Amino acid sequence: MRIPCPCCGARGNEEFTYLGPAGLTRPAPDASEDAWHAYMHERENPAGMHRELWWHGQGCRAWIVVTRDVRTHRIEHAALARDPEAAR
Amino acid sequence: MTTVHGTAQPFRLAAGGLIDRTQLLSFTFDGRRLTGHAGDTLAAALLANGIHLVGRSFKLHRPRGVVSAGPEEPNALVELRTGARREPNTRATTAALFDGLAAASQNRWPSLRFDAMAVNGLFAPLFAAGFYYKTFMWPAAFWERVYEKLIRRAAGLGRAAEAPDPDHYEKAHLHCDVLIIGAGPAGLMAARAAARAGARTVLIEEDERLGGRALAEAMEIDGMPAARWVEAVEAELAAAPRCRILRRTAAYGLFDHGTVGAVERVADHLPEPPAHLPRQRAWRIVARRIVVAAGAIERPIVFAGNDRPGVMLAGAVRAYVHRYAVRPGRRAVVFTAGDDGWRTVSALAAADVDVVAVVDPRPDIPPALRAEAARAQAQVITGTVVGTVGRHRLAAVDWRDARGEVTRMQADLLAVSGGWNPSIHLACHLGARPRWDEAARGFLLDTPPAGVTLAGAAAGRGTLAAALADGLAAGVAAARDCGFSPVPADPPRAEDEPRDGIALFHVPGHGKAFVDLQNDVTADDIALAHREGYRSVEHLKRYTTLGMATDQGKTASVPGIAIMAELTGRGIEGTGTTTFRPPWTPVAIGALAGPHRGRDFRPTRRTPTHAWAAAHGASFVEVGPWLRAQWYTRRGETRWQETVAREVRAVREAVGVCDVSTLGKIEVVGPDAATFLDFVYANTISTLRAGRIRYGLMLREDGFVLDDGTVARLAEDRFFITTTTANAGRVMQHLEHAHQVLRPELDLAMLSVTDAWAQLSIAGPRSRELLAALLDPGTDIADGALPHMAATSGSVGGVPVRLYRLSFSGERAYEIGIPPDYGTALMERIMQVGERFGVTPYGTEALGVLRIEKGHPAGGELNGHTTAGDLGLARLVSTRKECIGGHMAKRPALADPDRPALVGLKPRDGRSDIRAGSHLLSPGAAETSDNGEGYVTSACVSPTLGHPIALALLRRGPARIGETVRVYDALRGGDTLAEVCAPVFVDPEGGRTRG
Amino acid sequence: MRYSALALIRGALTGQRHWTPAWRDPEPKPAYDTLIVGGGGHGLATAYYLAKEHGITNVAVLEKSHIGSGNVGRNTTIIRSNYLLPANTHFYEKSLQLWEGLEQDINFNAMVSQRGVLNLYHSDAQRDAYARRGNAMRLAGVDAELLDAAAVRAMVPGLDMENARFPVKGGLLQRRGGTVRHDAVAWGYARAADRRGVDILQNCEVTGIDVVQGRVVGVQTTRGPIRARRIGLAAAGNSSRVAAMAGLRLPIESHVLQAFVSEGIKPALDTVVTFGAGHFYISQSDKGGLVFGGDIDGYNSYAQRGNLPVVEEVMECAVALFPAFSRLRYLRQWGGIMDMSMDGSPIIGTTPIEGLFLNCGWCYGGFKATPASGWCFAHTIATGAPHPLNAAFTLDRFRTGAVLDEKGAGATPNLH
- Which residues in chain B touch residue A80, judged by CB atoms under 8 angstroms apart? 740
pLDDT tens per residue across span C154-189? 999 999 998 899 999 999 999 999 999 999 999 999
Would an 8 Å CB–CB cutoff place A20 in contact with chain C?
yes
d(CA B357, CA B398): 12
**pLDDT score recorded for residue B5:** 40
- Which residues in chain C touch residue B137, judged by CB atoms under 8 angstroms apart? 3-4, 103-104, 107, 109
Indicate the DSSP class of residue B339.
G
Q: Classify the phi-psi angles of B744: left when phi > 0, otherwise alpha if psi is within -120 to 50, otherwise beta.
A: alpha
**pLDDT score recorded for residue B7:** 52
d(CA C407, CA B863): 8
Strand-by-strand arrangement of the C59-62 sheet: C199-201, C59-62, C34-37, C230-233, C356-360, C347-350
Q: Which chains touch B (3 or more CB pairs under 8 A)?
A: A, C
Which residue in C298, C303, C398 is closest to A18 by CB distance?
A: C298
Would an 8 Å CB–CB cutoff place B729 in contact with chain A?
yes
Q: Comparing C-alpha atoms, which of B756, B832, B758, B815 is closest to residue B781? A: B815
**pLDDT score recorded for residue A86:** 61
**pLDDT score recorded for residue B1:** 37
Indicate the DSSP class of residue B958.
G
Exposed/middle/buried for residue B401 (C-beta within 10 Å: 0-12, 13-18, 19+): middle
- Domain co-membership, B991 together with B916: yes
Residues 6+ apart with CB under 8 A from B45: B9, B25, B27, B34, B35, B36, B37, B97
- Domain co-membership, C166 together with C262: yes
Residue C17 placed within a domain? no
The answer to whether C158 and C77 are in contact (CB under 8 A) is no
- Give me the count of residues in chain A: 88
- Cβ–Cβ of A70/C307 closer than 8 Å? no
Which residue in A22, A27, A55 is closest to B736 by CB distance?
A: A55
d(CA B267, CA B208): 11
Q: Comparing C-alpha atoms, which of B564, B987, B505, B579 is closest to residue B788? A: B987
- The sign of the torsion formed by the CA atoms of B72, B78, B82, B88 equals positive
- Which residues in chain A touch residue C254, judged by CB atoms under 8 angstroms apart? 45, 47, 70
Q: Which CATH number fits the domain that encloses residue C70?
A: 3.50.50.60
- Which residues in chain C touch residue B533, judged by CB atoms under 8 angstroms apart? 21-23, 25
Q: Backbone phi, then psi, for C349, in 5-degree steps?
A: 175, -160
Q: Comparing C-alpha atoms, which of B839, B794, B810 is closest to residue B658? A: B839
| Best to test chain B binding among C102, C108, C109 (most B CBs inside 10 Å) | C109
State the CB neighbour count (10 A cutoff) for residue C213: 6
- Cβ–Cβ of A40/B257 closer than 8 Å? no
Which residue in A26, A61, A80 is closest to B742 by CB distance?
A: A26
- Domain co-membership, B745 together with B767: no
Write down which residue in C312, C339, C366 finishes a domain.
C339
CA distances from B116 to B55, B120, B122, B584, B645 (A): 14, 9, 12, 34, 66
Residues 6+ apart with CB under 8 A from B236: B192, B195
Write down which residue in B417, B433, B459 finishes a domain.
B417
- Which residues in chain A touch residue C338, judged by CB atoms under 8 angstroms apart? none
Whether the ω angle into residue B139 lies within 30 degrees of 0, i.e. cis, is: yes
**pLDDT score recorded for residue B497:** 87
- Cβ–Cβ of B165/C319 closer than 8 Å? yes
- Domain co-membership, C202 together with C173: no
- Domain co-membership, B403 together with B429: no
Q: Which CATH number fits the domain that encloses residue C280?
A: 3.30.9.10
> What does the buried/exposed string (b/e) look like for B853-890 if buried means 16 or more CB atoms within 10 Å of the residue's CB?
bbbbbbbbbbbbbbbbbbbbbeebbbeebebbbbbbbe
- Domain co-membership, C360 together with C370: yes
Q: At what angle do helices B464-481 and B185-196 cross, to 10 degrees?
A: 30
**pLDDT score recorded for residue B68:** 98
Interface subset of B 446-505, CB within 8 angstroms of A: 450
Which residue in C240, C250, C307 is closest to A1 by CB distance?
A: C307
Residue C49 placed within a domain? yes
The answer to whether B724 and B858 are in contact (CB under 8 A) is yes
**pLDDT score recorded for residue B2:** 37
Q: Which CATH number fits the domain that encloses residue B706?
A: 3.30.70.1400
Q: Comparing C-alpha atoms, which of B603, B737, B729 is closest to residue B666? A: B729
Strand B20-29 to B101-104 pairing = parallel
- Domain co-membership, B81 together with B38: yes
Is residue C385 predicted with pLDDT exceeding 90? Answer: yes
Would an 8 Å CB–CB cutoff place A42 in contact with chain C?
yes
Would an 8 Å CB–CB cutoff place C241 in contact with chain A?
yes
The answer to whether C384 and C259 are in contact (CB under 8 A) is no
Q: Comparing C-alpha atoms, which of B288, B282, B277 is closest to residue B202? A: B288
| Average pLDDT for chain A | 94
The answer to whether C259 and C315 are in contact (CB under 8 A) is no
Residues spanned by the domain of B109: 1-162
- The sign of the torsion formed by the CA atoms of C277, C280, C281, C284 equals negative
Nearest CA in chain A to B886: A29
Would an 8 Å CB–CB cutoff place B605 in contact with chain C?
no
Residue B555 placed within a domain? no
- Which residues in chain A touch residue C307, judged by CB atoms under 8 angstroms apart? 1, 13
pLDDT tens per residue across span C342-355? 999 999 999 999 99
Radius of gyration of chain C (CA): 21
Radius of gyration of chain B (CA): 38
- Domain co-membership, C289 together with C361: no
Residue B495 placed within a domain? no
- Domain co-membership, C246 together with C116: no
- Which residues in chain C touch residue B162, judged by CB atoms under 8 angstroms apart? 158, 324
Spans of chain B, pLDDT less than 50: 1-6
Residue C403 placed within a domain? yes
The answer to whether C273 and C118 are in contact (CB under 8 A) is yes
- Cβ–Cβ of B581/C334 closer than 8 Å? yes
- Cβ–Cβ of A42/C253 closer than 8 Å? no
Would an 8 Å CB–CB cutoff place A37 in contact with chain B?
no
d(CA B308, CA B395): 9
Nearest CA in chain B to A80: B740
Residues 6+ apart with CB under 8 A from B885: B682, B698, B699, B700, B701, B702, B703, B704, B706
The answer to whether C235 and C360 are in contact (CB under 8 A) is yes
Residue B322 placed within a domain? yes
> Superfamily for A2-80?
Folate-binding superfamily (3.30.2270.10)
The answer to whether B359 and B373 are in contact (CB under 8 A) is no
d(CA B311, CA B270): 31
Q: Comparing C-alpha atoms, which of C327, C203, C250 is closest to residue A46? A: C250
- Which residues in chain B touch residue A1, judged by CB atoms under 8 angstroms apart? 255-257, 259
- Cβ–Cβ of C299/A72 closer than 8 Å? no
- Domain co-membership, B445 together with B347: no
Would an 8 Å CB–CB cutoff place A15 in contact with chain C?
no
| Best to test chain C binding among A33, A41, A50, A69 (most C CBs inside 10 Å) | A41
- Domain co-membership, C266 together with C399: no
Residues spanned by the domain of C160: 103-180+253-339
- Cβ–Cβ of B138/C122 closer than 8 Å? no
CA distances from B224 to A15, B187, B773 (A): 50, 18, 89
Would an 8 Å CB–CB cutoff place B430 in contact with chain A?
yes
Indicate the DSSP class of residue B250.
E
| Best to test chain A binding among C253, C304, C363 (most A CBs inside 10 Å) | C253
pLDDT tens per residue across span C85-97? 999 999 999 999 9
Can you give the pTM of this predicted structure? 0.97
Q: Backbone phi, then psi, for C180, in 5-degree steps?
A: -140, 150
Residue C94 placed within a domain? no
Q: Which residues pair with B656 in a beta bridge?
A: B763, B840
- Cβ–Cβ of A37/C298 closer than 8 Å? no
- Domain co-membership, B994 together with B904: yes
**pLDDT score recorded for residue B140:** 79
- Domain co-membership, B7 together with B115: yes
| Number of domains chain B is built from | 6
With vertex at residue B77, the alpha carbon angle to CA B180 and CA B40, rounded to the nearest 5 degrees, is 60
- Cβ–Cβ of C316/B601 closer than 8 Å? yes
Q: Report ipTM (2 d.p.).
A: 0.98
Which residue in B259, B431, B740 is closest to A81 by CB distance?
A: B740
- The sign of the torsion formed by the CA atoms of B34, B37, B42, B47 equals negative
Would an 8 Å CB–CB cutoff place A76 in contact with chain C?
no
Q: Could you write out the DSSP letters of every residue in B28-86?
A: EETTEEEEEEET-BHHHHHHHTT--EEEE-TTT--EEE---SSTT-SS-EEEES-GGG-
| Best to test chain C binding among B539, B965, B966 (most C CBs inside 10 Å) | B539
Is residue A87 predicted with pLDDT exceeding 60? Answer: no
With vertex at residue B143, the alpha carbon angle to CA B140 and CA B148, rounded to the nearest 5 degrees, is 175
- Cβ–Cβ of C139/B919 closer than 8 Å? yes
Write down which residue in C288, C315, C339 finishes a domain.
C339
Residues 6+ apart with CB under 8 A from C50: C34, C36, C56, C57, C59, C198, C378, C381, C382
Nearest CA in chain C to A40: C411
The answer to whether B354 and B372 are in contact (CB under 8 A) is no
Nearest CA in chain C to B165: C324
- Domain co-membership, C56 together with C149: no
pLDDT tens per residue across span C234-291? 999 999 999 999 999 999 999 999 999 999 999 999 999 999 999 999 999 999 999 9
Q: Backbone phi, then psi, for B67, in 5-degree steps?
A: -105, -40
Residue C326 placed within a domain? yes
State the CB neighbour count (10 A cutoff) for residue A44: 13
Is residue A66 predicted with pLDDT exceeding 50? Answer: yes
- Domain co-membership, B95 together with B26: yes
Write down which residue in B735, B753, B771 finishes a domain.
B753
Would an 8 Å CB–CB cutoff place B581 in contact with chain C?
yes
- Domain co-membership, C189 together with C151: no
- Cβ–Cβ of B151/C104 closer than 8 Å? no
